A and B are shown apart, each in its own frame.
Chain A
Amino acid sequence: MRYPKEVILKDRTEAIIRPLEKDDESMLIYFYKSIPEKDRWYLKYDVTNKAVIHKWIEDIDKGLVFSIVAAAKNRIIAHAGLLTHEFGCTKHVGRLRIMVDSKYQHKRLGTWMLLDLIQLGMDKGLDDIRADFVIGEEDPAIESAHKLDFFKVATLKDYVKSSRGTRYDLQIMVKRLHKTWGDF
């Protein structure tokens, strides 16, 4: 795929989408530090831990995780990744994760990032892409996923729990990647 990709957001902000690079470590740490706790409590990793970010940077070029970032005004404003498996019964499925700076949400940036990773999934020959979202917390991402033909396959009731003990439903969404005419 051709990078960097220029996109213009709904508020006319110009952003660049490009792969995460080794030199991005400090910018990525800064990005996740700027994400308020209310927007990251449901992540699977402690993104305020520098070691977590370092591991993501180390994983670049290892082939199983492909990360992209969106940058504007010399800052990272979004980070997304497509996670794949080399082996096993789910190696045909890629998993998406995405985080967009709250100031840049509802501006179609998430959609552009998802679109990019969907095309990558197609290039990799995946059959499905899965994304999990916390209902009530990640509604903009759910909306973006719907626009890109992700559909709900399951809702795990009261599955995730915040640090305050509040339980939320987890929505599992899947997009089938079209391969033949019959799929259209």
Chain B
Amino acid sequence: MNKPSQKELTLSTSDGQVRIRANCTPEEISAYEYSSQFGTHASYKSLYTKRETLEKKAAQSGSNVTLALTDENLIVGFGVLTYPSTDERWIQLGPEMMMEVKALEVARDQRSKKIAINMLNMVLINPEIEDMIIYMVGYSWTWDLDGTRKSAQEYRKMLIKVFSPYGFMEYQTNEPNICLKPENLFMGRVGKNVSNELQEKFKWIRFGVYT
């Protein structure tokens, strides 16, 4: 995927405006402050506890790092779209045919303001996504059940509710890490221009059959 142009939307929340900025570069990420909420809590650790991790993701070819920023340029949310690593089965579909929504996280003190759903919108804003299959994996052991006061099943349902409006559907897979817990979730979004042949191949890959 070519590096697309940056896009931004402004979200009005009860605590002021939050800017949702897509396709952030490593350089601009390094200029922002990182919320201390992205750290280690009693029963939960943020996916990325250091801003540098986001910078590295943004440097990867084709990635889209989307940030939620306060007026003070404080990062209070991040969404990351990247290609799967070479040791993952999804690479078998073909070069640059699949991308993963690797992260979608909002700081604890900024939740319930529709930041996540707006970030997801911006994560998926590049038109190239219609030529590929985008997927997300929800591992229940990474979920902030304590902070959201949800059960694993409620959290799972929330994820389905967030991703479904963008064309994601729940799929079965025998990928071993996903199969570790029944609560875990795998969803995929098949782009409008993805051929039937590739969709069929995706079905087999989900079950570890590489033809």
Contacts of A123 in B (CB 8 A): 153, 157
Total chain B interface residues with beta-carbon distance under 8 A: 23
B174 within 8 A of A: yes
- Cβ 8 A contact of A6, one of B151, B174, B203, B209: B203
Rounded to whole Å, the gap between the CB of B211 and the closest CB of chain A is 10
Q: Quick check: A178 and B43 within 8 Å, CB to CB? A: no
Q: Quick check: B153 and A2 within 8 Å, CB to CB? A: no
B163 within 8 A of A: no
Q: Quick check: A115 and B44 within 8 Å, CB to CB? A: no
Contacts of B207 in A (CB 8 A): 7-8
Closest residue to B153 on the A side, CB-wise? Answer: A122
A112 within 8 A of B: yes
B145 within 8 A of A: yes
Q: With A112-B172, A181-B43, A184-B140 given, is the CB distance from A8 to B203 under 8 Å? A: yes
Closest residue to B141 on the A side, CB-wise? Answer: A184
Which residues of chain A from 86 to 126 have a CB within 8 Å of any chain B CB? 108, 112, 115, 118-119, 122-123
- Cβ 8 A contact of A7, one of B145, B172, B182: B172
Provide the main secondary structure of the chain B interface: mixed
Q: Which residues of A contact B (CB under 8 A)?
A: 1-2, 5-8, 12, 108, 112, 115, 118-119, 122-123, 148, 177-184
Q: Which residues of B contact A (CB under 8 A)?
A: 43-44, 140-141, 145-146, 151-153, 157, 169-172, 174, 181-183, 203-204, 206-207, 209
When A and B form their complex, which 3 residue pairs have the shortest distance between CB atoms, in order from nearest? A8-B207, A122-B153, A179-B151
23 A/B residue pairs, CB under 8 Å, sorted by A: A1-B170, A2-B169, A2-B170, A6-B203, A8-B174, A8-B203, A108-B174, A119-B182, A122-B153, A122-B183, A123-B153, A123-B157, A178-B140, A178-B151, A178-B152, A178-B183, A179-B151, A180-B145, A181-B43, A181-B145, A183-B152, A184-B140, A184-B152
